[in-house]
């Protein structure tokens, strides 16, 4: 009977200790970045012209030897 009281006391102390700690469920919430990453693929990459530094979508940019250019004239001006 004496041991039973000791075990009960340990259990009560352990229960109080666990209650005092912050809930691990709130701390370990998975981020919602999964939805954002799928949307990020749709955003077009922007590059800067090597001559006039105008920013334009990569799909519209002309690819030269040293980078991207906004127009054929600037690509020729850069000597690419």
Give the shortest CB-60-to-Zn ion separation in angstroms.
12
Neighbours of 75 (CB within 10 A): 22
CB 62 within 8 A of CB 69: yes
Nearer to Zn ion, 36 or 65 (CB): 65
Task: Name the closest residue to Zn ion (Cβ).
Answer: 49
Contact 5, 13 (CB under 8 A): no
Binding residues among 16-75 for Zn ion as defined by CB under 5 A: 49, 51-52, 70, 74
Residues of this chain that interact with Zn ion (CB under 5 A) are: 49, 51-52, 70, 74
């Amino acid at each position: 009977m004496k041991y039973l009281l000791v075990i009960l006391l340990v259990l009560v102390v352990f229960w109080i200790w666990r209650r005092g700690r912050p809930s691990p469920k709130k701390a370990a919430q998975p981020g919602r970045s999964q939805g954002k990453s799928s949307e990020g693929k749709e955003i077009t990459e922007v590059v800067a012209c090597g001559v006039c530094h105008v920013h334009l979508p990569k799909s519209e940019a002309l690819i030269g030897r040293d980078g991207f250019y906004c127009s054929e004239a600037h690509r020729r001006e850069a000597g690419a």
